Structure 1
Amino acid sequence: MTTVTPAKSMADRITDLVFDTIGPLQHELLRDGPKAVATLARLRRGAGKQPHQVPDLLGLIDTGPLYDKAPDGRMPGEGALTCAEDAVHVVMALWAVHQQSRTTGMHRPHRTDAPGGLGAAIRRLMIERDAGDAVLKRFVRIGTAPDLPTLAQRLREIVVLLRDEDITLDYALLARQLYQWQWPQGPETVRRAWGRSFHAYRAPKGDRSTGADVPGTDTPSDSHTTSKDDS
């Protein structure tokens, strides 16, 4: 008997693609695998640039799953593909910046008992740095970005600060949100999700550096959380 795998939405494909790409790559990178180290360096060179501006990135990430049929049987349109590819590119470059010189994985899947989304990470950064106003201003600037290149640059600035404090992010979730952000009403929905997780975050009792976050959400209303094990 043949099992038919249901077609996935583009948002689901983006989430799975980033998860399935970063997971093994991060695993090999933490073992100092030379191929993974070289890949990270190439991805980092793409930070702040459009995919077509960095020929070296061509073929580095297998985006084939993005071209699968939608649940309604149709092939994805040019607009959806462009938004999807841009979201994946931005997030992979951000992760490469975040992971640079770190001895632990900076990508960590979001869980309800340990939020991995952007809002929770920024709230934790405010606590760790004891610099609430300065970090909060950066958070507001992220939310008011007028376009994806500006958003990517502002995210890069905050990612550098997260790296300094070893604060992780769920990059599969972030990729899904950046895809959604590019559609009508998308920015409002994503900002709301980031804001909810920001306000829901509470510092863990005891050692603040344990990363034992409390329940919260950073997931848009029409998306699922990523809870796969990152090996």
Structure 2
Amino acid sequence: MRLILNIIYKSVKVFFAFSTSNLKANLETYKRVGTIITSKKSKLTVDLIKKAVREKKNDGITKNEDDEQFHKEAIGGIDEADCVIADASFPSSGVGFQIGYAISLKKPVLCIFSEEFGSRKLSKVIFTMKSPFLQISSYTENTLKSVISKFLDNLPKQYLMKFNFIITPEIDDYLTWLHNKSGKSKSETLREKVVEKVIREDKEYLSSKKHPSKA
């Protein structure tokens, strides 16, 4: 009997971090970053750009009134993401924190800053960050797409292997409950639980990965 696996390549999930300072003036650049990301068949974990646009008032785009909710959504977006792209053209403690948080989770981060507007240089806090997970690059209007594309193209390819899995009504009931609670598909929920509750807690398996037996 053969087990046939179907390999399905995953879309890369990206969190885009940006400063809300001078948002009105730089919105078109930020929207372009979002468009470049989705054009690479990647998807944003949370679209804070659209959220900012919805908060537009008569005098232009204003700062998010609920900083706590904004911060919570950003953290959730980073947790869900495969990588982070952060525009640090303007000094921002929020963007700096998000970069540091993503690095602590060992997620690839591309930190970009404009050569044409803003500070035209990185803040000292970000510049002094040393991590193999952090890449830093400047950009212009003409090079923005190539800078982001190169980063996304060089990420490790992620894929899923599909096979039939027969479950009991009790398992189905549990997965349905999790789906209704989180809004995620049953398949995605099950994958996360296997990684979180099975793989990461199986000390024997983890030890075997660190110290593989010699053939």
What is the TM-score with the length of structure 2 in the denominator?
Answer: 0.29
Question: If each structure's strand is expressed as a fraction of its own residues, which one has the higher value?
Answer: 2
Question: If each structure's helix is expressed as a fraction of its own residues, which one has the higher value?
Answer: 1
Relative contact order, higher structure (CA 8 A, sep 6+): 1
